[in-house]
Amino acid sequence: MSFRPVENGDRMSSVSTNAPIPHPAGRKWRAGVLGGTGVVGQRLVKLLSTHPWFELTEVAASERSSGRTYAEAVRWQLDGPIPACARGLLVKGLDPTLECDFVFSALDSSVAGAAEEDFARAGYPVVSNSKNHRMDTDVPSLIPEVNAAHLDAIPVQQKNRGYTTGFIVTNPNCSTAGLVLVLKPLAETFGLEKIFVVTLQAVSGAGYPGVPSMDIHGNVIPFISGEEEKMESEPQKLLGRWDGARFVDAGLGISAHCNRVPVLDGHLECVSLALKKSASPHDVREALSNFTVDAELASLPTAVRQPILVLDGDDRPQPRRDVDAGNGMAAAVGRIRECPLLDIKLALLSHNLVRGAAGAALLNAELLATRSFLRHRVPAAEVRLPQPVAP
């Protein structure tokens, strides 16, 4: 992902010409990546290598990887070489003493919960892609275009948990992210009652090495552990509201069927909706096409002015053709038509590793920076210890 001015489903400029650069005197925030050797961690490393606001200064991982340089520890899965800024970084363990201002967490769920709490307790803002804290009653699960107001929960979280400058913010599950982004303008315009969704999810969502080739080649697996539960619960929180003390669910009826398919990147979802207000396919198309972000979000480097791209043609969207819409940050929508059981049905596609993971976390961190939730920590090398008083 490069940072240049583009519109209409493409990535916005790094900072709009009228918006002030939110970091003082051009000083970048120092970012660490927990779980930096995994698939999502690698995406974060690559995106941070060219980011105008953040610089990668630390990578941490499990004991298996720590103690080696990043180039030695990682099995690089992305196009192009390992970014120069990361190659020589020493991979450290999950001790909250990293030289950075905040951390991204791409840790496996087996270790993420406690590690993220340790870093938050030590004063680090934690921007997490892991599932462990998504449904916590005081932790925002964030899609900036959908529920930026949920950041109001951070001071309550800090008070509840005894954190000082630290806190935890998560992005939702990869399949939830694209779905809820598309649901947002429909909820605002028509209201939502029921959602029925069938997912066709790419193998990259299972990480590396992921699904065994003999299981997925020429096959579809109609089960992904825990996925349907996430899709049926997370939208309730994302489309709900923060009342000053807790998150109030949206009260939707949701049923999900989740399938793993032999596609590399991109989660395709077939969705049927029951709306509170009557709407034609044309009305729905207009609501989706006209959905744009506000000036605050438009100034963020990873943001997309129009995060929903409505496509023509009976055979779109397709992962091979449409997964990189908006440099992977837009949801592509097509096949909007009447549903004989509910009201409207459509197909949507989003990039599970960008909009659904690394790009989502990056956008969340940018919003946190703009709203002054990120602070520059003093590097250990700059801390001046008290000098003994001469006798």
Distance from C-alpha of 369 to C-alpha of 310, rounded to nearest angstrom: 30
Angle, CA of 39, 43 and 44, to the nearest 5°: 115
Element (H, E) at 200: strand 192-201
Q: Is the peptide bond before 317 cis (omega within 30 degrees of 0)?
A: yes
- Which residues carry out catalysis? 174, 267
Of 102, 186, 106, nearest in space to 367 by CA: 102
Rg, Å, the chain Cα set: 21
Task: For residue 77, give the amino acid letter.
Answer: Q
Residue type, 186: L
3 state SS of 271: strand
3-class SS shares of the chain: helix, strand, coil, % to 5? 35, 20, 45
C-alpha dihedral (30, 368, 374, 54), degrees to nearest 10? 10
- From the CB of residue 335, how many other CB atoms can be counted at a distance below 10 Å? 17
Q: What 8-state DSSP symbol labels residue 358?
A: I
Are 170 and 224 in contact by the 8 Å Cβ rule? The answer is: no
The Cα–Cα gap between 202 and 204 comes to 6
389 vs 342: CA distance, rounded Å: 79
Backbone angles phi, psi at 141, to 5 degrees: -100, 115
